[in-house]
Amino acid sequence: MNSWIEGADSRETHFPIQNLPFGAAKLPDGSIACVSAIGSFVVSLTALEAAKLLDTGSDGDLFNQDNLNNFMARGSNIWRSVRNQLVDLLELNGKPDLKNSSRLQVKVLFLQSDVEMKLPFTVAEFTDFYAGKQHAQNVGAMFRGVSDLPANWLHIPIGYNGRASTVVVSGTDIRRPNGQLKPLGADQPVFGPSNKMDVELELGAVVGTGNKMGTPITIAEADEMIFGYVLINDWSSRDIQAWEYQPLGPFQGKAFGTSIGAWIVTKDALEPFRTQLPPRDLPNLPYLEETKPGLYDINLKVDLTPKNASKPTTICQTNYNRMYYSLAQQLTHHAIGGCQMNTGDLLGSGTISGTKPSEFGSLLELSWNGERQIECTGGEARTFIEDYDRLTMTGWAQGEGYIIGFGECTGCILPAIKM
């Protein structure tokens, strides 16, 4: 497919017509609109709906909202219909209504540089998983001296309930947390700022339609419930986490901030990039057996930019296909006991790490818990994140002559509040 939008057919753009992700943006006039992206432009779905160029099957204004939740709740038939209508309006040889109307274009098309991206959906709940085998083995080797996995790990996508209240959109600064820390060799904990601030490279599933309480779901139903995928940086305080996590897992070490990308990439855009799970060490229980390939071939990269650096240093390059469990499996397991999943629930994949050190998706692994320094452009070095460092994630699936991109997920660490 080709588009009449300038720059949309570039091999470098994250947002060709084959993508058309969904988000929310503050427009130059101060209004907030539901939007899509193509080339270097955002497309106001709110304006297209008002102009009767999108049939949403709704009596009300589905996109006259400041987030996508109402749209997400309508289900996969409406998601696909709207995306197909967008393709028809933006394709070179598609419907001419927008292409031939400069009057409409000024209401619908805005340069991405002229808008402020907002949180694309209201996050109902946030659940983070621990589904990367290499990451789990690395953590075991560091903290238990062996890379053996916990006894349940090869049977269960392990997760914990995080905080929806501190999920923020890319570009939001994150404050270094204070908390209880137990220095090496000390008998008692102390209180103060975290000294081991970390990044966690993850992919997130955004739940569109839910299930009723008490009603488990199948893998196929879980896949149908997922509206799309976002980049996630689940910021982590490793020293706070190390002191608190037994016996109930992470708490304050994770609750202070989670950044997500501004763009939700749809399953339809990613469909050509589905790929199989890696071979099972042990057979899955039947309810976790996939009906179709559940992972995606998505390249992922993390850049670190120290405060005074002129350019970033790439510290990690990996791929979502390294995961042991898919997000559809994670969603299925989440609901299998009868847990009600709702529109706007966010599920994090867990840290994505490959087998090579350059593929490790956290500074905890890259520095081996502070034992190794990571050299940065300009002569600086890091073991963990320092104040005013910026971490930026990008992700893309590589097609023939185009890419399906997620844009960026970026955030800067601010100093802790003195207490």
Our answer to whether residue 333 is catalytic in this structure is no
CA 249 to CA 255: how far, in whole Å? Answer: 12
Tokens in use for 56? 């949403």
For the chain, helix (H) and strand (E) counts, in that order, are: 11, 26
Contacts of residues 363-370 at CB distance under 8 Å and 24 or more positions apart, as own/partner, are 363/198, 363/199, 363/315, 364/138, 364/139, 364/142, 364/196, 364/198, 364/236, 364/238, 365/135, 365/138, 365/139, 365/142, 366/315, 366/316, 368/142, 369/142, 369/143, 369/238, 370/196
Indicate which residue of 14, 135, 333, 334 is catalytic: 135
Listed in order, strand segments (DSSP E) in 132-255 are 159-161, 167-169, 174-175, 178-181, 190-193, 197-198, 201-207, 226-233, 236-237
SS3 assignment, position 118: strand
- At 272, the amino acid letter reads P
CA 179 to CA 323: how far, in whole Å? Answer: 31
Residue 358: C-alpha distances to residues 174, 229, 354, 365 (Å): 25, 24, 8, 10
Question: Under 8 Å CB-to-CB from 118, ≥6 apart: which residues?
Answer: 23, 24, 25, 26, 32, 66, 67, 169, 262
| 247 upstream amide cis, omega within 30 of 0 | yes
Tokens in use for 126? 């946030």
322-341: string of b/e by CB count within 10 Å (b at 16+)? bbbbbbbbbbbbbbeeebeb
Tokens in use for 77? 């038939």
Tokens in use for 11? 């091999």
Enter the DSSP assignment of 338.
S
The tokens 């075991």 sit on which residue? 140
- Residues annotated catalytic, as ranges: 135
